[in-house]
């Protein structure tokens, strides 16, 4: 039976009883000698004064850029990648597109956008891009983040940490459902985030104008529409285009151990959370029950080509497994209890990015992974949402689980009723078994090719660069450009993700770090080191930083060029038009063959994060810039070139430091 319980920050309870009729609980006999009364806050991570979705109706709409601005920005991004003849040809094609078929497509896009004011012009095309992709989601789309350890060492055992993170995750879900999760707001002045008068003022504004009240104090609410698919959701493989499935009524947790599937309810119909000691007992039982690997693990199918997986899933349904698949798809989320202890961050990255395949269901909206030593991380399916929602979830759950743990070390697990935990058994015929074996072999072969490199630079971080009046992000991006130039002798097509969550149903926009300025700076630092004064080199860094800041601002305001061009191309395909010459231009193809794919998700809860390279000859660079140091996690299929790139990156950052401190380059 599920019963309500109070979150007492790890304080052991001897006795509970209800007080009154509003769900209050009194705690008695606490080991720390504290007597307190707690209301239903034990169900939530916090209680926000402002309702969670208060700003959704009044969020501004993502602007459709002017076509001439998009073409101008596109050509600026192309210029450093092309020689003069190539650029003139691409410029001609772009101008013809702007005056001809591009203008017609743009006009149609604008008209369609005006008719669909409930969403953004990029939302449906972006969903289609993900869901129509036939490549496996693992390595190609699913990113990962690793959480920092619990500051209290005794709380980092596998079952203890899993229980606390599960409870905090369900509290986050309850907060979201009951509209008491704090809305995502970017505060230019953080003092307003603590202002009760401001929050009360905003709370009573009609939802149709609530955003404008926030803007009065330079506070910018963010879109939270993606949160509805954070829980109880899965990507379902279908022929040619997958579907996103959500069942908000699901109350059970999916737990995986050694390739076996278990489900048990963690919520009752009114939102009460299963007592932590009972969750702990369920997890202990699962660890004991799943003591060996299955001969054939169904999980490998989620690593397959999506059309192949769609066909095999239909076979699973026809073989009588539909109910079990629905239990997987509708589970609150997936908890993976791994039987490994990574010895370093490189092994941890491999574990969270792809693992061994048999203990993951990569189609779930997210999987919480706990290794044998209590290290925790998240692997998430990318089509439903972006890093903003996932990082907010990670931040809240990490903070709640470490500050208000549901159970403490040496806590006795509750009694277990065998009927409350169900192990899912599947009917597998020869055809399905053959498909599982084929998927496993392909997965293992691909995993052998992927390399991970860890990098830390401890000589400066955000504080130093801000004092130098430089953008920390711009400096890291410049260092990546220099490194590629030093290693390959040329500038490379680069990509940096930027959220457009300030707009209704915004997703991301692309920042193109490669510019004429970074090309010149890279060439000078690598090939003409002794020909320029320290002052000249410093000025080049300054100019790169200023230009990168401008690109960041344009992207965040929906004024990049990539999503606009993507929407125009998508519209042309949907209408069945002949593909415009603009999108067939080899320069367009080259620009979108991303060698340096980069993303940063700063968070106090995150140890490392990463993703697979988007091109077979490229690098996937997940980076973070801390106050006094910076680091990154880089993936690549180029086993030889990856360590060389890391060496070049350290060289480039040392060069930048020398110049910033007034030393000439050796």
On whether the CB atoms of residues 477 and 494 are closer than 8 A, the answer is: yes
Q: Which residues contact 534 (CB under 8 A, 6 or more apart)?
A: 659, 662, 663, 664
CA distance 578 to 568: 13
On whether the CB atoms of residues 199 and 217 are closer than 8 A, the answer is: no
Rounded to 10 degrees, the C-alpha dihedral 168/162/136/144 comes to: 70
On whether the CB atoms of residues 380 and 143 are closer than 8 A, the answer is: yes
- Direct distance between the N- and C-terminal alpha carbons of the chain, in angstroms, rounded to an integer: 71
- How far, CA to CA in Å, does 159 sit from each of 31, 167, 329, 335, 374? 22, 12, 24, 11, 8
- How far, CA to CA in Å, does 555 sit from each of 284, 363, 515? 48, 30, 15
Nearest to residue 169, comparing CAs of 246, 279, 88? 279
Which secondary-structure segment (H or E) carries 366? Answer: strand 366-370
Nearest to residue 367, comparing CAs of 332, 324, 321, 402? 332
Exposed/middle/buried for residue 196 (C-beta within 10 Å: 0-12, 13-18, 19+): exposed
Give the DSSP letter string of 517-538: HHHHHHHHHHH-GGGS-HHHHH
Rounded to 10 degrees, the C-alpha dihedral 402/404/410/412 comes to: -130
Q: Which residues contact 386 (CB under 8 A, 6 or more apart)?
A: 226, 497, 499, 501, 507, 508
3-class secondary structure, 424: strand
The token pair at 588 is 């367009």
145 strand-pairing partners: 378, 609
CA distance 252 to 423: 13
DSSP category for residue 327: H
281 strand-pairing partners: none
**Signed CA dihedral, 573, 578, 581, 585: sign only:** positive
Give the DSSP letter string of 551-576: HHHHHHTT--SHHHHHHHHHHHHHHT
Nearest to residue 238, comparing CAs of 314, 299, 130? 314
Q: CA angle, 589 as apex, 588 and 593 as ends, to 5°? A: 120
What residues act catalytically?
A: 382
3-class secondary structure, 33: coil
3-class secondary structure, 465: helix
CA distance 96 to 94: 5
Number of separate helices (H) and strands (E) present in the chain: 21, 21
On whether the CB atoms of residues 330 and 364 are closer than 8 A, the answer is: no
**Signed CA dihedral, 57, 192, 189, 461: sign only:** negative
On whether the CB atoms of residues 182 and 46 are closer than 8 A, the answer is: yes
């Amino acid at each position: 039976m599920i019963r309500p319980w109070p979150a007492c920050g790890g304080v052991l309870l001897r006795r509970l009883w209800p007080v009154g009729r509003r769900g209050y609980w009194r705690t008695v006999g606490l080991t720390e000698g504290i007597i307190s009364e707690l209301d239903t806050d034990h169900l939530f991570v916090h209680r926000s004064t402002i309702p969670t979705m208060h700003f959704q109706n009044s969020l501004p709409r993502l602007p459709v850029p002017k076509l001439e601005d998009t073409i101008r920005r596109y050509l600026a991004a192309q210029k450093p990648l092309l020689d003069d003849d190539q650029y003139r040809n691409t410029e001609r094609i772009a101008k013809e597109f702007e005056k001809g078929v591009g203008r017609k497509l743009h006009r149609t896009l604008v008209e369609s956008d005006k008719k669909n004011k409930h969403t953004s012009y990029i939302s449906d095309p972006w969903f289609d891009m993900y869901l129509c992709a036939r490549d496996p989601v693992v390595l190609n789309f699913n990113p990962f983040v690793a959480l920092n350890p619990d500051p209290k060492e005794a709380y980092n055992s596998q079952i203890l940490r899993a229980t606390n993170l599960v409870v905090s995750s369900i509290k986050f879900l309850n907060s979201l459902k009951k509209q008491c999760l704090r809305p995502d707001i970017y505060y230019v002045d953080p003092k307003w985030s603590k202002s009760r008068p401001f929050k009360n003022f905003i709370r009573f504004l009609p939802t149709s104008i609530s955003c404008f009240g926030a803007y009065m104090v330079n506070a910018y609410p963010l879109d939270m529409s993606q949160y509805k698919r954070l829980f109880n959701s899965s990507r379902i493989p279908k022929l040619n285009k997958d579907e996103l499935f959500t069942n908000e009524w699901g109350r059970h947790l999916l737990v995986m151990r050694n390739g076996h599937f278990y489900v048990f309810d963690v919520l009752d119909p009114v939102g009460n959370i299963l007592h932590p000691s009972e969750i702990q007992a369920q997890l202990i039982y699962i660890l004991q029950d799943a003591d060996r690997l299955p001969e054939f693990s169904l999980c490998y199918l989620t690593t397959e080509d999506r059309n192949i997986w769609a066909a095999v899933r239909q076979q699973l349904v026809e073989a009588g497994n539909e109910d079990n698949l629905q239990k997987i798809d509708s589970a609150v989320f997936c908890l993976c209890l791994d039987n490994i202890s990574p010895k370093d961050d490189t092994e941890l990255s491999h574990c969270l990015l792809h693992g061994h395949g048999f203990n993951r269901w990569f189609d779930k909206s997210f999987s919480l992974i706990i290794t044998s030593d209590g290290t925790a991380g998240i692997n998430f399916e990318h089509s439903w949402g972006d890093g903003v929602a996932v990082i907010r979830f990670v931040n809240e759950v990490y903070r709640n689980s470490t500050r208000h743990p549901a159970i403490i070390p040496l806590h006795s697990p509750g009694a277990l009723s065998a009927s409350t935990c169900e192990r899912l058994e599947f009917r597998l015929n020869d055809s399905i078994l053959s498909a599982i074996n084929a998927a496993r072999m392909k997965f293992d072969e691909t995993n052998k090719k992927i390399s991970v490199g860890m990098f830390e630079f401890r000589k400066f971080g955000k504080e130093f660069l801000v004092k130098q009046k430089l953008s920390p992000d711009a400096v890291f991006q410049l260092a990546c450009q220099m490194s590629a130039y030093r290693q390959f002798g040329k500038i490379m097509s680069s990509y940096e993700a930027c959220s457009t969550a300030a707009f209704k149903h915004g997703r991301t926009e692309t920042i193109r770090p490669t510019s004429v300025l970074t090309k010149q700076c890279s060439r000078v630092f690598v090939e003409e080191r002794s020909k320029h004064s320290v002052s000249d080199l410093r000025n080049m860094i300054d100019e790169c930083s200023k230009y990168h800041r401008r690109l960041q601002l344009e992207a965040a305001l929906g004024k990049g060029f990539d999503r606009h061009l993507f929407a125009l191309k998508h519209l042309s395909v949907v209408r069945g038009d002949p593909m415009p010459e603009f999108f067939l231009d080899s320069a367009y193809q080259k620009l979108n063959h991303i060698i340096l794919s980069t993303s940063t998700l700063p968070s106090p809860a995150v140890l490392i994060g990463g993703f697979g390279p988007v091109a077979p000859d490229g690098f996937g660079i997940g980076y973070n810039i801390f106050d006094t140091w910076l680091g990154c996690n880089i993936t690549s299929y180029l086993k030889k070139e990856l360590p060389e790139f890391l060496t070049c990156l350290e060289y480039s950052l040392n060069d930048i430091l020398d110049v910033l401190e007034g030393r000439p380059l050796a």
